[in-house]
Structure 1
Amino acid sequence: MPMTPGMPLPAALVPDCTSEEAHRRAYKKAKADSSIFVCITRQGAQWSVVLDVISRPLVTDEAAKVLRSAVEELVATGAAAGGANFSTEYISMHQIGSEGRAREIAAAFHAAIYGLQQLQVAVPIPRQSP
């Protein structure tokens, strides 16, 4: 079932971008669709998750705190044993034990970012100046 650009991907449709060509193709498609890029990659027996907001609006600072907390919890509990990188534009998590778990995590963060961005559009929250 093709997904409409701008919609979160279910876990089964998160692309496996282990090969460089698959990564390039998926990233190019996400950019062309103005979508949030998401993929999983295999590294030996472990998996990684990558999300890149590309050119979509950034999530608010408040929403970023929620996302960061979830990433930190995955690392703290060992679900992403290889650690993680986090910014409001990019998330990567490493050494996830199975493809299924990596897909679940990727789909959840993909949906969360879309939902937060949709909420921000519907209910604009003024950004506070530093």
Structure 2
Amino acid sequence: MQSLPTPYPADLVPDATAVDAFNATYKQAKRQNAVFIAVENQGRRWTVKADALTAGPDHTVGNEAYDTVRGSVIRLNRAREIHSDSSAGPVYFVLYGVETEPRP
């Protein structure tokens, strides 16, 4: 997996909707000691996942990064832009119910 800028360009985030695609993407992240990031189509909505465990034991999520992601998940939840069962870390993040957006 290549190192991606922040925010990640949407066309570089893998669609792991199919079980085989999810497993392949996860295994590739583990082999390359990279953070796993993918989306899964859930009809008109998406699930967004990130897992830092695939980056290996020496990788840590810094307090500032964790606080930023956690704060974003809380704000998105309060605004009802994601489902309430979404979670923020400390090493695994999942956002359920992200609405589809048109892309240019």
How many residues are matched? 98
More strand by share: 2
- Rounded to whole Å, the distance in 2 between the matches of 1:87 and 1:36 is 13
Q: Structure 2 regions of 5+ residues with no counterpart?
A: none
**Shift, 1:100, TM fit:** 5.5
Larger radius of gyration, structure 1 or 2?
1
Q: Structure 1 regions of 5+ residues with no counterpart?
A: 102-130
Normalised by the length of structure 1, the TM-score is 0.65
Bigger relative CO (Cα 8 Å, ≥ 6 apart): 1
- Root mean square deviation of aligned Cα: 2.2
Give the alignment of 1:44-83 within 5 angstroms: 44-54=43-53, 55=56, 57-83=59-85
- Rounded to whole Å, the distance in 2 between the matches of 1:19 and 1:100 is 21
Answer yes or no: is the 8 Å Cα contact 2:52–2:61 preserved in 1.
Answer: no
Q: Sequence identity of aligned pairs in percent?
A: 30
Normalised by the length of structure 2, the TM-score is 0.79
SS of alignment partner, residue 75 of structure 1: helix
1:36-68 C-alpha deviation (Å, 9 max, x unpaired): 000000112211100000225222334322221
More helix by share: 1
